C-alpha cells in the first residue's frame, strides 16, 4: 500500500501555494459556503457570548514584574490587539487597579497600517529600561523585532531593529545582542528556523555581524542563552538536532565551545554552580543506572571536570512524574503529576538537598507555577500559581518567600456549574492499556447527550484541567458533555507514555482515542451519532484519523490547523522539525507505518464519512494550510459533507480574542448542524 501511495499524483497540489491566486480563489469560495451554512443567528449569539466572556474587565490580568512594577498584556473589546501596561503590586491587589499604558498595539497597527500581533518583549538587565519588542504580522511565528524604551514608552530612534523572520535575540549588554535569525543567505535550517548565532554590535550592519556558532542544515534550530548571574557569567549555545534531541555547549573565552556531555534527549538547567538534569531515557553510568523521568543534581564545575556522582532529587513512580522544574532566586520549583493530580515541591540546594511539598493547595485542581520576575538579576523567592479546574474559575496566587499562598485574583464565573460534575474514567485500548479521560457534564445524565471528545496525544503535552469558560457557557450549560482524553503520545505519565504514542505508536495513540469513544457509548453518555471528535495541530491529525479509520464512531469531526498529508509534511514549512514524532516519509521503512496514519491519503472513494469542519489560517507558518485545504478539496470531490474555513490572519491559532470567539462559535454552529438530536443547541 505504501508504494502505491507514493506513486499517485496529488490532484490538489496547487492548493499548497499559500498566496497563489487560484488557491486563494478556492479558499474564499469555500469560506463563503461555510459562512452561509453555519453563520446564523445562533452562531452570532454564541460569538457574542464567547467574546464577552473573554474580554470581561474583571478577568485575571496575568503579570510579570520588572523593577518593582507589574507588567500585563491585556485585550478587551476596546483594545482588540491589546495594551502592554503596568501598575504597582499595591495597586494590583485592589479590586480595580489603575494601569499605565506602555504600548498600545491597536494604535501602533493603525498608525503603521500593519496587522500587528503582540509576541512579547525581552528586557535588558538589570535596569530593564530597554527591551526588544517582537511583533508578528497576522499571528505568524515570524516576528519583527524593535528596541523599545520602557521609560519614555517609545521605540528607540536608530535602535536595534530586525525585519520579519523566525528566531530571537538575547541581550549581552546594552550595545550587544546574540541573535539567532533566519535573515540572510543560508541562515535557515531545513525546518525554517535559525541555523546560527551572531554577535550584533549597536550601530553596525547586521549582515556583517560576526558568526559565533553555527549548526547543520538538517538541525531543527540553533539558539543562544546568556547567564548574567554575578560570578557565573556564561553563554550557552544549543543545537536542537530533532524535536526530542539536542546538544548544548558552554562558550569559552579561547577555543571551541565546551560540549555539555549529557544524553541527547535530557533537559537541563545551570544555576550558579548547580547542574539540574531531567532524563527522558534511562542513563547508564559506571556508578549506577538513572531511570527515565528522574531529576538529578550535581555541581556544574565538578561535572565539567568529569564527576558524575549525581544526587537524585526526584524518582518517578507508576503514574507519578515530574512535569516541570525551574529556579526562583534560591529554590528549585518542581511540578509533579501524581496520577494527574498536581503537586508543587520546593528544593533547597546544599550538600544534601532538602525537598518539601508546598501545602495548602486543592487536591482536585490543576496547578501551574510561573515566575513573577522577568529578570534573572531581580529574582526573589516569590512566584505565582495558576490554580484551576474544568468548572471552577481560575485563581492567580502569590507564593511568598516564607511559602504562604496569597490569592491575588480570581476569574469571575463564566457559567452556572451547580448542576455539573467532573468525573474520571478509563477506557481499555486495543493492547489492553488503560487510558484515562475526564468527563465534564450534568450530574444527572438522563440518557445519551451530545458530546465532544477532545484530545491531542503528541509531543509529551499533558492534558490537565483548565477552566472551560466560554465552552462551559455555550456547551455545558445547555446540558451537553465535554470529554478530555489523556491518550498516549502525551506527557501525563512521563517519557514512556509519550514514546508509546510516537512514530510507529502514533496509530496506537489514535486507537486510544477511539477506545474512549467506544467507552462513552458503552456507558450511555452519548451515541455515535451524537459524538464529535475535536482536535487541533497534532490533534488535527488525531481527529483526521478518526475520520478515515473510525468514521462509524463519530457524528462529526472538528479539525483545526491540522497535519493531514504525512506524505508531504516534511516539505511544508516547519514539517522537518517533527520527524522524531512521526517519522520521515522519505525513508521507506518509516513510510511503511506512516502510511497507516496519513489521513489525506487514506480517504477512500465509496466510503461514508461523518461531516467535517476543517479550519486553518493563511498566516499559519508552522503547520501549512495546504493540509486542510487539500483534505477539504478531496472530501468535496468525493461528495462528502465538508465545511472549510481559512481566515487571512491568525497564525497557528487565533490573532486575537475576536477571532478566537468567531472560530469557536463556528465550531459550535457546525456541531448544532451535524450532531443528531441536539434540539435548540
Active site residues: 537, 652
Nearest to 300 by CA among 316, 332, 277: 277
- What is the number of other CB atoms lying within 10 angstroms of the CB of residue 678? 17
Alpha helices by DSSP H, 63-190: 89-92, 105-112
Non-local (6+) Cβ contacts of 551 within 8 A are 607, 608, 609, 610
Torsion sign across C-alpha atoms 134, 239, 265, 459: positive
What's the N-to-C CA distance of the chain in angstroms?
Answer: 42
Reading across the β-sheet that carries 234-240, which strands appear in turn?
Answer: 221-227, 234-240, 246-250, 258-259
Residue in this structure with the C-alpha cell 551572531, named with its chain if needed: 198
Sign of CA dihedral 91, 96, 100, 105: positive
Residue 614: all three cell numbers together? 476543517
Q: Give CA–CA dist 137/131, Å, rounded.
A: 19
Q: Whole-angstrom Cα distance, residue 555 to residue 152?
A: 56
| All cell numbers assigned to 524 | 450511555
The CA–CA distances, whole Å, from 488 to 319, 323, 353, 494, 497 equal 13, 15, 33, 10, 5
Backbone CA torsion sign across 91, 95, 98, 101? positive
Report the C-alpha gap between 442 and 417 in whole angstroms: 9
DSSP 551: G
State the helix-helix crossing angle for 41-54 and 657-674, rounded to 10 degrees.
Answer: 140
Q: CA-to-CA distance for 567 and 584, rounded, in angstroms?
A: 9
User: What torsion, rounded to 10 degrees, do the Cα atoms 495, 497, 498, 499 define?
Assistant: 80
Peptide bond into 363 cis (omega under 30): no
Nearest to 294 by CA among 264, 273, 268: 268
Burial class (CB in 10 A: 0-12, 13-18, 19+), 229: middle
Torsion 494-496-499-505 (CA) sign: negative
CB 680 within 8 A of CB 650: no
The dihedral region occupied by 561, where left means phi > 0, alpha psi between -120 and 50, and beta the remainder, is left
Amino acid at each position: 500500500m505504501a508504494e502505491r501511495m507514493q506513486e499517485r499524483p496529488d490532484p490538489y497540489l496547487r492548493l499548497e501555494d499559500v498566496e497563489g491566486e487560484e488557491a486563494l480563489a478556492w479558499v474564499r469560495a469555500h469560506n463563503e459556503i461555510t459562512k452561509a451554512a453555519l453563520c446564523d443567528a445562533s452562531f452570532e449569539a454564541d460569538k457574542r457570548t464567547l467574546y464577552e466572556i473573554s474580554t470581561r474587565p474583571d478577568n485575571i490580568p496575568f503579570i510579570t514584574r520588572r523593577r518593582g512594577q507589574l507588567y500585563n498584556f491585556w485585550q478587551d473589546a476596546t483594545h482588540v490587539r491589546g495594551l502592554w501596561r503596568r501598575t504597582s503590586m499595591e495597586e494590583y491587589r485592589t479590586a480595580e487597579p489603575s494601569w499605565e499604558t506602555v504600548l498600545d498595539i491597536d494604535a501602533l497597527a493603525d498608525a503603521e497600517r500593519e496587522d500587528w500581533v503582540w509576541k512579547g518583549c525581552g528586557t535588558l538587565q538589570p535596569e530593564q529600561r530597554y527591551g526588544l519588542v517582537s511583533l508578528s504580522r497576522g499571528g505568524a511565528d515570524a516576528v519583527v523585532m524593535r528596541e523599545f524604551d520602557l521609560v519614555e514608552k517609545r521605540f528607540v530612534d536608530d535602535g536595534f531593529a530586525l525585519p520579519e523572520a523566525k528566531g530571537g535575540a538575547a541581550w549581552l549588554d546594552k550595545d550587544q545582542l546574540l541573535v539567532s535569525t533566519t535573515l540572510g543567505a543560508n541562515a535557515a535550517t531545513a525546518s525554517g528556523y535559525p541555523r546560527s548565532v551572531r554577535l550584533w554590535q549597536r550601530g553596525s550592519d547586521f549582515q556583517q555581524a560576526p558568526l559565533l556558532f553555527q549548526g547543520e542544515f538538517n538541525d531543527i534550530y540553533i539558539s543562544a542563552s546568556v547567564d548574567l548571574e554575578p560570578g557565573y557569567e556564561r553563554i550557552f549555545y544549543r543545537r536542537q538536532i530533532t524535536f526530542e534531541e539536542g546538544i548544548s555547549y558552554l562558550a569559552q573565552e579561547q577555543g571551541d565551545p565546551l560540549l555539555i556531555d549529557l544524553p541527547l534527549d535530557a533537559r537541563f538547567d545551570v544555576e550558579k554552580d548547580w547542574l539540574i538534569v531531567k532524563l527522558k531515557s534511562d542513563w547508564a553510568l559506571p556508578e549506577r543506572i538513572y531511570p527515565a523521568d528522574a531529576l538529578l543534581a550535581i555541581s556544574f564545575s565538578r561535572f565539567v571536570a568529569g564527576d558524575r556522582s549525581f544526587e537524585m532529587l526526584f524518582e518517578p513512580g507508576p503514574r507519578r512524574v515530574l512535569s516541570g522544574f525551574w529556579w526562583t532566586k534560591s529554590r528549585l520549583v518542581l511540578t509533579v503529576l501524581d496520577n494527574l493530580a498536581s503537586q508543587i515541591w520546593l528544593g533547597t540546594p546544599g550538600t544534601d538537598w532538602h525537598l518539601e511539598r508546598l501545602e495548602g493547595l486543592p487536591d482536585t485542581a490543576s496547578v501551574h507555577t510561573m515566575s513573577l520576575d522577568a529578570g534573572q538579576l531581580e529574582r526573589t523567592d516569590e512566584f505565582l500559581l495558576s490554580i484551576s479546574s474544568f468548572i471552577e474559575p481560575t485563581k492567580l496566587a502569590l507564593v511568598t518567600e516564607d511559602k504562604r499562598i496569597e490569592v491575588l485574583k480570581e476569574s469571575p464565573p463564566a457559567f452556572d456549574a451547580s448542576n455539573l460534575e467532573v468525573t474520571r474514567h478509563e477506557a481499555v485500548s486495543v493492547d489492553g492499556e488503560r487510558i484515562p479521560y475526564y468527563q465534564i457534564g450534568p450530574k444527572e445524565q438522563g440518557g445519551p447527550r451530545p458530546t465532544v471528545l477532545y484530545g491531542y496525544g503528541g509531543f509529551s503535552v499533558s492534558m490537565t484541567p483548565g477552566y472551560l469558560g466560554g465552552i462551559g457557557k455555550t456547551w455545558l450549560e445547555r446540558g451537553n458533555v465535554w470529554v478530555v482524553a489523556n491518550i498516549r503520545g502525551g506527557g501525563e505519565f512521563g517519557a514512556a507514555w509519550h514514546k508509546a504514542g510516537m512514530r510507529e505508536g502514533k496509530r496506537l495513540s489514535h486507537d486510544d482515542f477511539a477506545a474512549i469513544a467506544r467507552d462513552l457509548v458503552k456507558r450511555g453518555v452519548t451515541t455515535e451519532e451524537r459524538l464529535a471528535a475535536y482536535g487541533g495541530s497534532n490533534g488535527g491529525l488525531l481527529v483526521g484519523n478518526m475520520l478515515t479509520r473510525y468514521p462509524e464512531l463519530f457524528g462529526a469531526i472538528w479539525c483545526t490547523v491540522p497535519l493531514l498529508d504525512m506524505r508531504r509534511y516534511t516539505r511544508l514549512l516547519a514539517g522537518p522539525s517533527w520527524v522524531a514524532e512521526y517519522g520521515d516519509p522519505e525513508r521507506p521503512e518509516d513510510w511503511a507505518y506512516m502510511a497507516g496514519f496519513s489521513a489525506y491519503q487514506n480517504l477512500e472513494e465509496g466510503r461514508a464519512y461523518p461531516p467535517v469542519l476543517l479550519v486553518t489560517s493563511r498566516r499559519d507558518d508552522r503547520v501549512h494550510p495546504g493540509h486542510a485545504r487539500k483534505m477539504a478539496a478531496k472530501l468535496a470531490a468525493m461528495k462528502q459533507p465538508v465545511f472549510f474555513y481559512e481566515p487571512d490572519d491568525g497564525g497557528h491559532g487565533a490573532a486575537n480574542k475576536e477571532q478566537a470567539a468567531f472560530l469557536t462559535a463556528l465550531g459550535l454552529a457546525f456541531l448544532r448542524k451535524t450532531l443528531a438530536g441536539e434540539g435548540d443547541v
